[in-house]
Amino acid sequence: MRTIIVIGGSKGIGNAIITKLLTFCKVINISRTSPELAHKNLTHFSCDVTQDELPNIKNADTLIYCPGSINLKPISRLSIDDFKNDFEINVLGAVKAIQKYLPILKNAYAPSILMFSTVATKLGMPFHASIAVAKSAVEGLVKSLGAELAPKFQINAIAPTITNTQLASKLLRNDKMIENIKKRHPLKKFLSPTEVADMALFLISDKNTSISGQIFEMDCGIVSFKI
């Protein structure tokens, strides 16, 4: 049975991922709060990846780094600390986790690393300066490490459009906002966490043996189409 380290699996997309993984994998979740589920295959460590020392783990096959932020402000209201905080959560936390667990991942048969970006790196969107900067760095990290750690590792990222999670709740707080979000997407919908989790499971599975260094836009058409 494979062992998957998930950082940030207590809520949102991360929680959807571990819920699916637990049926056939051992999952080690690292997050500030524990997931609201219990399972014989789940081990949880309470930890703030940006502040605390990460726990020692003996073996693992895959690392999934889920933490993110949605810090939407006009540039005139974004402080340098806003940029620093978003970069620390999205980029430096991932680097810290990769450096910590790379030695044990190298011992796996077919190790993989999965991270998360956003459609805002490809589509210029007002008020997204800080998060677009941070997630663009994530995409650069994916490509650089994908090359550096080939052929042993497969390293990819998913770049979702707005997803129905607690993190995005301010953008989906009433029916009018929900309808406007749907209208902006050519497929007239936005994402559910389980859709993103399904893509994540494919990318870290044995079915994926040839994809690395890629950013997968789950965009409901908003980046790809002009309709």
pLDDT digits (tens, 9 = 90+) for 20-71: 999 999 999 999 999 988 899 999 999 999 999 999 999 999 999 999 988 8
Are 66 and 11 a contacting pair, CB within 8 Å?
Answer: no
3-218 homologous superfamily? NAD(P)-binding Rossmann-like Domain (3.40.50.720)
Among 165, 154, 195, which Cα is nearest to 64's?
Answer: 154
> Residue 82: phi, psi to the nearest 5?
-60, -45
| Nearest-10 Cα torsion for 163, 16, 210, 156 | 60
Q: What is the mean pLDDT of residues 122-144?
A: 96
Q: What number is the average pLDDT over the span 76-105?
A: 97
Could you identify the residue written with the tokens 């989906």? 172
**For residue 127, is pLDDT > 90?**
yes
C-alpha 134/C-alpha 118 separation (Å) is 10
Identify the bridge partners of residue 44 per DSSP, sorted by sequence position.
Answer: 29
What confidence category does residue 168 fall into, taking pLDDT thresholds of 50, 70 and 90?
Answer: confident
Q: Residue 139 has what pLDDT?
A: 98
100-128 average pLDDT score: 95
- What letter represents residue 44's amino acid? H
